[in-house]
Each structure stands twice: as structure tokens, then as C-alpha cells.
Amino acid sequence: MEQQTLKEFFDRKVAEYNKPAFIKDDPVCIPHLFTKRQDIEIAAFFTAVFSWGIRLTIINKSKELMQLMGMAPYDFITGHTDKDLQQLLAFKHRTFNTTDLLYFVEFLRHHYQHHKSLEDAFTMHLFKESDREEAEQMLVGFNKYFFLLEHLPTRTKKHIATPERNSTCKRLNMFLRWMVRNDKKGVDFGIWKNIQPAWLICPVDLHVARVAKRFNLLERKQVDWQAALELTGYLRTLDAADPVKYDFALFGLGVMERY
């Protein structure tokens, strides 16, 4: 398929999926339960971290955690007592268990004691003189920052990906898409203003990689960070300012249409 024809096809698919009707059956519905900026950030972050496997399970477990936090995650994170933490002890999602959850809560409390937004946890690692592109700087830096606290459980490291381990960083890239893209279509929030949509990397999983290879957008065999860069590089030829909007097309074709 010629590039212009492919762009027109993908643009139609983006328009088909990037609308409010998409929200209710997708994990992004969880942060849409909230209006306060910090509540949206925290709900989106946990939901993104939980986003592997069946979408309904991801939605249910994310909602369960929000309910355990009294549907006020920012207030819970910043104001909880040791007694409040007791109600989290039975929570588990796949390999994410109580040990991991308590560390996540501790990190978030520490961060919000010093910053108003979780955006700062990513942008503080941007350096103009770096030879890494912006997304890689942010993801590598966030990983190191996230695990700076004392009493870090070794097992928890597997839940925050980094390009330094050659991960696609699919879940974090999805989280960044939710927070950064601001097309006013109703799905992505666009509440972070210091990160440009042009910097984002497409969230790549097996479904997206399969569709990308079918359209000859991706040559790399391994589904890893280099594959995510390669695919995003192509998507930037379709829309340099907002390449990750095509995540809607690739995801829709791969998951919804089984393309």
C-alpha cells in the first residue's frame, strides 16, 4: 500500500476509535472516573501498570484499587495512615502484589510531597545536550527516580520498564499518551503541557507489532525498544507532530478487528 493511501486508511481508523465511545471498554475508563489532575494521574498510572492481559480484568482490578483508596487516590496517597494501608493488603493483580503496591504508594507519597504533578517525575530527566531522544531520557530517568527510595523490594523492579533493559515500555508509553495527547477527542487527557506529543513513542505489544509487520511498517523481529523506535519513526512520516495518534489505528486493527 502506498504511503499516502496507508495514511488515509490509518487516519480513518484513528477517527473510528479515537472518540468517547471507545472509553467504556478500555482501561482508560478508570482515570476518566476522576476530574482532579492528581487523581487522574494516579488512576492512570496504576491502570497503565496493570495493563497486560484481558482488558475487562484490568478495568476491574484498577477500579477495585481505586475503591480501596476511597475513590480519592490523591488524598489517600498523601494522607493515609498505617491503619489505612491495612485495607490494601489483600490486593493482587497477576504478579503485582502487596509488596509492590506498598512501594508504589510510598513512592507516590514521596513524590507528591515535593511536586504538584507526576509529570515532573518524567520531565526532570530531560537534558538538551543528551544524545538520547526525549522519550528515552524520560523513561530511563523515571525508572531510576522511581526506585531511589530505601527498602526497595527487588521484585518490584519488574513492574516499571526501562529502555535500558530493551523493553518496549508499552505500558509507560500508553500512560504518557493518555497524559500528553491533547486533540480534544475525549479519550486522551492532554493535562501535561511540558511534554510534546511529537516526543511520544508508540505503545507496542504483540498485537500492535503484528499489525505493523503486516503493513510492512516494522522490520525488526524482536518486539523490544528498538522495534518501538522503528515503528514510531515510520509513524512520524505520517504525522510528525502527533505520531502516537496512530496507536488507535494499530490497536483497533489488532485487538478489535483481529487484523
Residue 93 forms beta bridges with which residues?
A: 96
pLDDT at 129: 79
Query: CB of 30 within 8 A of CB of 56?
Result: no
Is this structure's pTM higher than 0.85?
yes
- Cα R_g (the chain), whole angstroms: 18
Other CB atoms within 10 Å distance of the CB of residue 41: 26
Confidence of residue 199 (pLDDT cuts 50, 70, 90): very high
Q: Which of 193, 210, 198 is nearest to 245 (CA)?
A: 198
Domain ranges of the chain: 3-256
The answer, yes or no, to whether residue 103 has pLDDT greater than 80, is: yes
| Per-residue pLDDT tens over the stretch 4-27 | 799 999 999 999 999 999 999 999
Amino acid at 233: G
What is d(CA 63, CA 45) in angstroms, rounded to the nearest whole number?
A: 13
Query: CB of 215 within 8 A of CB of 208?
Result: no
b/e per residue, 168-183, with b = 16+ CB within 10 A? bbbbbbbbbbbbbbee
| Per-residue pLDDT tens over the stretch 33-86 | 999 999 999 999 999 999 998 999 999 999 999 999 999 999 999 999 999 999
Q: Which of 55, 68, 51, 157 is nearest to 104 (CA)?
A: 157
Contacts of residue 99, Cβ cutoff 8 Å, sequence gap at least 6: 153, 155, 156
